[in-house]
Structure 1
Amino acid sequence: MHKTLVTGGAGFIGSHVARQLWAMKHHVVILDDLSGGLLENIPTGVDFVKGSILDHQLLAELFEKYQFDYVYHLAAYAAEGLSHFIKRFNYQNNLTGSVNLLNECIKHEVKCFVFVSSIAVYGSQQTPMTEDMIPQPEDPYGIAKYAFEMELKASKEMFGQDYIIFRPHNVYGENQNLNDPYRNVLGIFMNQILNGEPLTIYGDGSQTRAFSYIDEVAPVIARSVENPSAYGEIFNIGSDHTCSVRDLAQMIQVAFDSQATIHFLDERKEVHHAFCAHDKLKAYFAPVSSVSLQEGIVRMAGWAKKAERKASYKFDEIEIYKNLPSNWKLD
């Protein structure tokens, strides 16, 4: 039985990947500090350790105890827009913590390190974005992700540490954190509707994304270590179909049979159009069943209506207030 560590396994994508791995008969250990994840997301049958990837001593103890075969790294604070205003927090959690984890993988000769990076590494480039483009990240979150991608490449060349990198984009679905006001627009919209609030859109809502249902993403990531030809490669992963934020809001209104108003806010600094090509992914991995955005929204809405309802929280570690969007400021 393979021994496998999943960091961030109480979070959204991480919990789905952990569940897939458990179904594949891996001995799964989840490490999560529960800063964004939830205990109820953790699949039955896995080992859970509450802790942070910033705790390098804890990591050393876990690797010594379990002697992991594989590591899936999904622990991150993935808020591109907010990352401009929490630079220290961003780099500590998304880069330094990742290096702590990689150090232990090298020391213990882990067979493969699966890193969930982000479309944010591309920045504003011609769409659809392809893996052969030179990344040009425009926010600290994307910079941290790309820096660690380069570290993985350097560690492969220096130490022979195998890896696979996935660049997902705009993933949504069950287990998503609905009370996070800074990231995951579907979760934000659904939480606003459930709390009787207007849907908030930055700018005119013409921004386009390829929103990707979790069941199109997590199974491929989980199975990836079974394909040695994918080692050392980078893959975009997600939907091929784009949608504007404005149209997304209207689809969510329909799914909830809601008359919630839409409140347009000042435009913020963000990539306006971001979606990827997936030809390389399809060449390496067997396809999973595609789920239309409409169907995915219906599934997530059904889950959200039953999920524990919470008010949106405010991030309390803002480091820079200059140009911070007004609705992100602390009360």
Structure 2
Amino acid sequence: MKQMKSLITGGAGFIGSHVARHCLEAGHEVLVLDDLSGGFEDHIPEGATFIKGSITDHKLLADLFNQYKFDYVYHLAAYAAEGLSHFIRRFNYTNNLIGSVNLINEAVKHKVKCFAFTSSIAVYGPGQVPMREDMTPLPEDPYGVAKYAVELDLKAAHEMFGLNYVVFRPHNVYGENQNIGDKYRNVIGIFMNQIMQDKPLTIFGDGTQTRAFSYIDDVAIPIARSVSMPEAYNQVFNIGADTPYTVKELAEVVGKHFGASPKINYLAARKEVQHAYSDHSKAHEVFGTEDSVSLDAGIQKMASWAEKVGARKSQEFEQVEVRENMPEGW
């Protein structure tokens, strides 16, 4: 039986490294492409081939597709700072849209069997809860706009060229290998990094905004499996946890697993969706209804990992294009 060859972009990052591990366990030959702007080489699972490079380098992509003849593409590379995307529009569209189009071009030309893409619930915009795949997307930030544009481009590529795809819209994913040193995204990682440095936890607004926080295995496993499931082809799926929590409740759970009662530093509210959680009935129908990891159990797993790797210094994003109206603390 021929071994399937899979390209995983962003495979040194958070979700990508877990997808790479599950693909290897399923018997795939895996090549990871990552520019290490948000990932770490030691996150890449043993057995994967690593190429340092960017999806914005279309010549590199052409060379890789010519050399490796990929059967599947898992596209997870992105700069996923949704709130920051207002202030880095050119960077956002170059990396999250144009880079994706470069990949789609090569996938079409090389007859890739299936293209799995991680989009985001950011495509839905405000006021649509629970978010369902049959709703009309109304993204309100450049990150969501870019993700939805890629979804539309994949649909067009399928209709024109027959490229099969699976789109996933995960949300608020956390777990081992997350970049806890990024102050612009991933609230659980931010909280853990702050608490390990004896700093107050920063909350924008009053903390009553709600999110359904998704442990990594609830997301990475369906993504890895999807390319071998023709019944999932050319569809869009919400994936992640079902139960929403307030950000204040989240802070309490994080504090519990670090044995602390954290102090909260409330900052001015920023422009963001107040409530965001999805309906996952479509994904359950196709991928199964395995019990998801509870917030308490998932935070415990991630906290144990975070204490081993230690706190990380938050990095400033050096390519901000517009500074007007940036949130306090950024």
Task: Kindly report which structure 2 residues correspond to 1:298-313, keeping only aligned pairs within 5 A, or say none.
Answer: 298-313=300-315
C-alpha separation in 2, matches of 1:85 and 1:126: 25
Name the residue aligned to 2:14.
12
Query: Is the CA contact 1:240–1:276 (under 8 Å) kept in the aligned structure 2?
Result: yes
**3-state SS in 1 of match to 2:169:** strand
**3-state SS in 2 of match to 1:217:** helix
C-alpha separation in 2, matches of 1:61 and 1:227: 28
Name the residue aligned to 1:81.
83
Give the AA of the match of 1:51: G
Name the residue aligned to 2:241.
239
Matched, 1:161 2:163: yes
TM-score (norm 1): 0.98
C-alpha separation in 2, matches of 1:72 and 1:135: 23
> How many residues are aligned here?
328
Query: Is the CA contact 1:195–1:311 (under 8 Å) kept in the aligned structure 2?
Result: no
Q: CA deviation at 1:309?
A: 2.8
Name the residue aligned to 1:51.
53
Q: Deviations over 1:241-283 (max 9, x none)?
A: 1100011001111110123310000000000000000010011
**3-state SS in 2 of match to 1:14:** helix
Give the one of 46, 59, 62 matched to 1:60: 62
Give the one of 257, 260, 269 matched to 1:258: 260
Consecutive unaligned residues of structure 1, counting only runs of 5 or more, are: none
C-alpha separation in 1, matches of 2:225 and 2:48: 17
Give the AA of the match of 2:125: G
Q: Deviations over 1:192-231 (max 9, x none)?
A: 0111111000000000000000111111110011110111
Give the AA of the match of 2:180: L
Q: CA deviation at 1:125?
A: 2.7
Query: Is the CA contact 1:9–1:32 (under 8 Å) kept in the aligned structure 2?
Result: yes
**3-state SS in 2 of match to 1:9:** coil
Q: CA deviation at 1:310?
A: 1.7
Give the AA of the match of 2:272: E
Q: CA deviation at 1:308?
A: 4.0
Give the one of 271, 276, 279 matched to 1:274: 276
Q: CA deviation at 1:307?
A: 0.8
Matched, 1:25 2:20: no
**3-state SS in 1 of match to 2:87:** coil
C-alpha separation in 1, matches of 2:310 and 2:268: 31
Q: Deviations over 1:49-101 (max 9, x none)?
A: 00000000000000000000000000000011000000000000000000001
**3-state SS in 2 of match to 1:297:** helix
Consecutive unaligned residues of structure 2, counting only runs of 5 or more, are: none
Give the one of 138, 141, 150 matched to 1:139: 141
TM-score (norm 2): 0.98
Name the residue aligned to 1:207.
209
Query: Is the CA contact 1:208–1:242 (under 8 Å) kept in the aligned structure 2?
Result: yes
Name the residue aligned to 2:196.
194
Name the residue aligned to 1:173.
175
Q: CA deviation at 1:289?
A: 3.8
Q: CA deviation at 1:325?
A: 1.2
C-alpha separation in 1, matches of 2:310 and 2:64: 32
Question: Percent of pairs identical after alignment?
Answer: 61
Task: Kindly report which structure 2 residues correspond to 1:110-129, keeping only aligned pairs within 5 A, or say none.
Answer: 110-129=112-131
Q: CA deviation at 1:286?
A: 2.2
C-alpha separation in 1, matches of 2:268 and 2:131: 27
Name the residue aligned to 2:187.
185
C-alpha separation in 1, matches of 2:119 and 2:305: 26
Query: Is the CA contact 1:230–1:284 (under 8 Å) kept in the aligned structure 2?
Result: yes
Matched, 1:319 2:321: yes
C-alpha separation in 1, matches of 2:217 and 2:128: 27
C-alpha separation in 2, matches of 1:312 and 1:208: 25
Give the AA of the match of 2:156: A
Name the residue aligned to 2:295.
293
Let me know the Cα RMSD of the aligned residues: 0.7
**3-state SS in 2 of match to 1:82:** helix
C-alpha separation in 1, matches of 2:254 and 2:261: 10
C-alpha separation in 2, matches of 1:74 and 1:14: 6
